[in-house]
Structure 1
Amino acid sequence: DCTSPTPPAPSCMAPDAASDWAQAEAEWSSVQEGVISETHIVRAIQLGQVESGIQRPITYTQAFNHFFVEVEWKGKEIKKPQSHIGTLAKLAAPSLDRKLHEERQFIYFLQKQPMDHSVVEHCRIFTTLFKFLTGEEAAIPVTGDHIQKIGFQANDPKTDLRTAGMFSLLQALYFISEHPAIAKDYYRTSISATHEFPWILCSINFSCMVLDLLKDKRLHRMANQKGSMIEVVHKAYVVIFAKFVEMWTKPPSRSIGEWDATRRELKGHANEQIGKLVKEMEMKA
């Protein structure tokens, strides 16, 4: 059970072994406190301190590799969404480097992948996200009204994930993995009395905005420069989330009744300034 107390190091351990055990204890404590990383989870798994199955934490890298390597998607016909920008804007937008076409197709594939409760990795992404945000330690089912704690509207996450599929859930996992303190802070803000908002529903909306940016070729230049579309879509998602929280909490703070207007304003910022916003975030890092 991943919530069980860490057993003490046996007294007969050699000094080096005891030191390793103490380090592992500290690492797993960090995971339970919400500081998630590849090393923490791998060490915890080695010590047998996490559950198997859907309750077992999954890292972003593990989840990405599941979809990119283990799932058969290459060579499949994946229809590219239709762009709604004008002809002149299309002509002005740079072409995407051919070496990045596969990454773009992979993103569209993820968007079309519904959450499937029979796929362990899908459920592990959900439980990792839920436990990280809420601090829940007990085993949790994937469906039920408890999932509304992180902002789901329905009692089954796959209902709300229909618009952006597993792409949106993978982006949320990326967020808590790469920016755990910020993601946790935004969750605390989302459940506060003064700035309440549905964390995961907003997150899904931000993933949809990223997909629109991709569809409209607004990410091509940045992806060509960085040599990665995967990196760019995730950074775009993070800065859109950050911009939203800034807008939402800036006095006078907004209420859920102002969501539609806020979303339109946010989308305008993303369309016009996504490159600038990402660059500013990178400079602060």
Structure 2
Amino acid sequence: MSEDACSLHNEKEWEDGQVERVAVEGASLRDGGSHALPTFRGIPLSELKYHGVLQALTAEAIGWQPGAVSAEVLRAQEEWEAVDSIQPATGSWAGSEQPGQLISFSEALQHFQTTDLSSFKERIQPTVRRSGLAALRHLLFGPPKLHRGLHEERDLVLTIAQCGLDSQDPVHGRILQTIYKKLTGSKLDCALHGDHWEDLGFQGSNPATDLRGAGFLALLHLLYLVMDSQTLLMAQEIFRLSHHHAQQFPFCLMSVNITRIAIQALREECLTRECNRQQKVIPVVNSFYAATFLRLAHIWRSQQKTISDSGFVLKDLEVLAKKSPRRLLKTLEIYLAGTSKGQASLLGAPKGYGPHAPHSKELTFTGVCDLPLHSSEDAQPI
């Protein structure tokens, strides 16, 4: 074989090897492999134009013309071109309208204010139904009526509590992603389903299944907690407490139960006096939720409670919160004032806190939803 023929033969073998390597590495990528993207003559294939890439490579390697490409190579080209259009797995929310962007509480609230929620609003009962002596006692000794100008805002709160988590709504996705990122410090989006939600304190891998009795309001409350600079510190402190090696509890599920207490307090008109005083409903409900969560954390920490005590703690907390809402709100004000001045935590910092503390996923949690309502007026659930 002449020197020129030998050179052409070797070059052809090298080119064949390049095409074969592209096919092999492309298959590994399609199969979910972790290999780096292949290159051709030092140029990443991801930077080449997808259309006609494999025909050009084949023609250069073995002298084929565009019309002489085999069916197998054409099929490989189609699969490679499809790489550019691959979308994230269902439920990842990574392909939402504004991927990776946090959402504020006011923006999330505005979404619900501008969305047609009429079908959910039909289900609400703004106040509990009372009859007989209970109705007479409430009329004579109960709180004043909520100002009429606040009825629409109150009804919006209760309507949101009827809404569920919609995986097709990008705003819902951003809310859940924001909660995850602010609690964990992660910069990356996460999947709709997965064990990472159990790490945050949901009972399973799908947060939507844990909103019973509180609806999407439970997620709005968590968003409020983590998006305010002062309450974020409180949320992170309680989150650390939930991962204590002996006093661990499901953080998000506990939060859902506290949201339900806030809903019942609003319906039973326990918050009416404060709403009338501030001429607002949503900020009062938010603060009441945060104050109740703070009170639970204080009891949990100071009295060395464990998951087996959760039902009793929530039961007593519900009674206390409805009886003395103003007292709870004052406690929250004192706490936030202290944290803004950099003072020591009111919760303390027991040993064993931290993200690496063991956290069992097989906890039996008794929530407020599983307990009888504690109201002398025979309150009805929403």
- Per the shorter chain, which TM-score range? 0.7 to 0.9
Report the residue type matching 1:257 in the other structure.
Answer: S
Q: What's the counterpart of residue 331 of structure 2? A: 280
Q: CA deviation at 1:102?
A: 0.4
Q: CA deviation at 1:132?
A: 1.0
2:300 to 238, 248, 252: 248
When the two structures are superposed, what TM-score results if normalisation uses the length of structure 1?
0.77
More helix by share: 1
What are the residue-to-residue correspondences of 1:20-169 with 2, within 5 Å? 53-69=98-114, 71-73=115-117, 77-80=122-125, 83=128, 86-91=134-139, 92-169=142-219
SS at match of 2:165: coil
Is 1:271 the counterpart of 2:315? The answer is no
When the two structures are superposed, what TM-score results if normalisation uses the length of structure 2?
0.58
Is the 1:90–1:217 contact (alpha carbons within 8 Å) kept by the matching residues of 2? Answer: no
Is the 1:54–1:120 contact (alpha carbons within 8 Å) kept by the matching residues of 2? Answer: no
Deviations 1:209-251 (A, max 9, x none): 0001011110100000000010110010001000000000114
Is the 1:206–1:237 contact (alpha carbons within 8 Å) kept by the matching residues of 2? Answer: yes
SS at match of 2:146: coil
Is 1:201 the counterpart of 2:201? The answer is no
Is 1:229 the counterpart of 2:267? The answer is no
Partner Cα distance (2:327, 2:136) in 1: 22
Partner Cα distance (2:147, 2:126) in 1: 18
Partner Cα distance (2:164, 2:251) in 1: 20
Q: CA deviation at 1:82?
A: 5.6
Deviations 1:174-224 (A, max 9, x none): 011121111111111111213211110000000000001011110100000
Q: CA deviation at 1:279?
A: 2.5
Is 1:260 the counterpart of 2:260? The answer is no
Is the 1:97–1:224 contact (alpha carbons within 8 Å) kept by the matching residues of 2? Answer: yes
SS at match of 1:165: coil
**Structure 2 unmatched ranges of 5 or more:** 1-95, 338-382
**Percent identity of the aligned residues?**
29
Q: What's the counterpart of residue 191 of structure 1? A: 243
SS at match of 2:324: helix
Report the residue type matching 2:163 in the other structure.
Answer: Q
| Two-structure CA RMSD over aligned residues (Å) | 1.9
Q: CA deviation at 1:128?
A: 0.5
Q: CA deviation at 1:61?
A: 1.2
| Alpha-carbon spacing, 1:264–1:104, altered in 2? closer, same or farther (3 Å) | same
Which structure 1 residue ranges, 4+ long, deviate > 4 Å from structure 2?
A: none
Q: Once structures 1 and 2 are overlaid, which stretch shifts more, 156-165 or 236-245?
A: 156-165
Is the 1:115–1:158 contact (alpha carbons within 8 Å) kept by the matching residues of 2? Answer: yes
